Structure 1
Amino acid sequence: MSRVWFITGASRGLGRAFAEAALQAGDRVVGVARNVEPLVELAQRYPEDLVRLPLDVTDRDAVIAVVDQAHEAFGRFDIVVNNAGAMLLGMVEEAGEEQIRAHFDVNLFGAVWVTQAVLPYLRAQGSGRILQVTTMGTGGGFPMVGLYAAGKSALDSVSEAVAMEAEQFGVQLTIVQMGGYDTGLFTVGTTATTPAPQYQRLRDELIAMWGDEAGPAPATAAPVIMELVDLPDPPRRLVVGSDSFDLVQQDLRDRAAQYRAWEHLSRRVPG
């Protein structure tokens, strides 16, 4: 039987790659994005299986209305992918209040609104998968992308809670910690702070370290996602990307070593 996907941020990058892979597998897709025009060609190839709905995930009322509309289109949800995201690039001190709030509205609250809206349907049917697309960098902050990591880290924590709350209803959730892919996140999906001269040296070092490599094409990650949604007992967390997996493991080892180094201080008091 074909499955029904609900994918946010489906017009480009990873969302578009996941939508194409699902359609090629014979599944049906509701693809939502602020601008769904890039999905016109895909809709022409799959006129019966792809529904395009415009949606700004930061608008909670609109999210609820569009989720209801999407459910009416195909009658169920099997896989919900919270993929919509944006990048706030700059030092924490440089970021303005409006920039920070707008960033969290997309990367955290947008995913929460979608999750809240789909859960009643998944609970009623007694099944369903939720994929929360975060990043391999949620283990800790990093200069210039600290607020991006903070939003995704918060989504990680919320998603852990949702997974435990919803599993009793037959709903499975996986936090998909993506590595660096050529999604356009650092171009069309980026809001940049106004650079402060005090951070210029660090900024130059980071830019030199990152280089010009955009990363692999999003389509290369799609087969892993297709295999993931076929698993009867999927993992709670999955790092997608070989290099990213190594970096996450090193970060975990470094963090454990730091805890051990200061264990004597931690154990001075009960609690």
Structure 2
Amino acid sequence: MSKTWFITGAARGIGAAIARAALEAGDRVVATGRNAARIEEVFQAHAGKVLALELDVTDGARAVEAAEAAAARFGRIDVLVNNAGYGQLGAFEEIAAEDADRQFDTNFFGTLNVTRAVLPVMRRQRAGRIFNLSSMGGMLGFQGASIYCATKFAVEGFSESLALEVGQFGIRVTIVEPGFFRTDFLDGSSVRYGTGSIADYAASAAEWQATYEAHNHKQAGDPAKLGAALVTLAASEEPPLRYAAGTDAVEAITGKLDAVRSEIERWRALSVSTDGAR
């Protein structure tokens, strides 16, 4: 049976790749983004199976309207992909408070807004799949990415807890943790750097930015293959809670887990010494 996907940030990059993979599988797609006309242009060959909706994920009321429009058009929402987001990079001290707030409004609270809008539809169905786009930066920190990583760590905690709450309704949650994928994420149309300037960070900030820019459009990850992988996961009876995408993500995340276990063991005696008398 064909599925209906609701995808945020679907005009380009990973979001567009996921939408194309779903369409190639014979499914229907509610493709959302800030520019509905742009989405219609991208998916004009699939006009009958695509509903293009304008959606700024920071607008909770509009998210509810979009979910209602999707259900009215296709009758249900089987798969939600919370993909919309961008990267706020730079040293923490050089990022203005309002820029940090804006990053959380999109990457984290935007995910909450859309999930809150779609869950009533899935609960009525007693079925649904939710893919929340995190990052390998949701499992480990990167220099020059403290605010971005903070939003993705938040997505991870939210998603893991949400999975425990909604599993009783037949709704499964998967946290998607991509490594570096060949999209526009690291160029000027997506990434933002701190506007402050502190001399102590000058050398390291230049190094971080040069490293990120060197990866731009040269990343190893293939968005089309990630889209196909999510179609496979959406059809799985028991999808994983976490899905690391790309060799770099698998290696970085497993390395982090090994390091955490090693550190816990090193300090185990002091850790357990805080227990009270029984």
TM-score (normalised: structure 2): 0.93
Q: Deviations over 1:133-155 (max 9, x none)?
A: 10012123222111111001101
1:143-162 alignment, distance < 5 Å: 143-162=143-162
Helix, strand or coil: the match of 2:43?
A: helix
2:259 corresponds to 1:254: yes
- Offset of 1:260 from its aligned partner? 1.5
Q: Deviations over 1:110-135 (max 9, x none)?
A: 00011111111101011010000100
2:186–2:213 CA contact under 8 A, matched in 1: no
Inter-partner Cα distance in structure 2 for 1:89 and 1:253: 27
- Offset of 1:254 from its aligned partner? 1.0
**What RMSD, in angstroms, separates the aligned Cα atoms of the two structures?**
1.5
Give the letter aligned to residue 85 of structure 1. Answer: G
Percent identical pairs in the alignment equals 37
2:223 corresponds to 1:221: no
Inter-partner Cα distance in structure 2 for 1:116 and 1:125: 15
1:131-210 alignment, distance < 5 Å: 131-187=131-187, 188-194=189-195, 195-207=197-209, 209-210=211-212
Give the letter aligned to residue 191 of structure 2. Answer: T
2:32–2:39 CA contact under 8 A, matched in 1: no
Match of 2:92 in 1: 92
Inter-partner Cα distance in structure 2 for 1:209 and 1:82: 27
Helix, strand or coil: the match of 2:17?
A: helix
1:12–1:38 CA contact under 8 A, matched in 2: no
Mean Cα deviation higher: 199-208 or 47-56: 199-208
Give the letter aligned to residue 237 of structure 2. Answer: P
Helix, strand or coil: the match of 1:52?
A: strand
Helix, strand or coil: the match of 1:212?
A: helix
Mean Cα deviation higher: 207-216 or 166-175: 207-216
Give the letter aligned to residue 207 of structure 2. Answer: E
Match of 1:41 in 2: 41
Inter-partner Cα distance in structure 2 for 1:139 and 1:42: 32
1:105-144 alignment, distance < 5 Å: 105-144=105-144
Inter-partner Cα distance in structure 2 for 1:255 and 1:201: 29
Gaps of 5+ in 1: none
Q: Deviations over 1:15-36 (max 9, x none)?
A: 0000011111110000000123
Distance change >3 Å, CA 42–CA 211, structure 1 → 2: closer
Give the letter aligned to residue 222 of structure 1. Answer: G
Helix, strand or coil: the match of 2:142?
A: coil
Gaps of 5+ in 2: none
Inter-partner Cα distance in structure 2 for 1:209 and 1:255: 26
Inter-partner Cα distance in structure 1 for 2:95 and 2:42: 37
User: Moved runs in structure 1, 4+ residues, more than 3 A?
Assistant: 207-211
2:16 corresponds to 1:12: no
Give the letter aligned to residue 238 of structure 1. Answer: Y
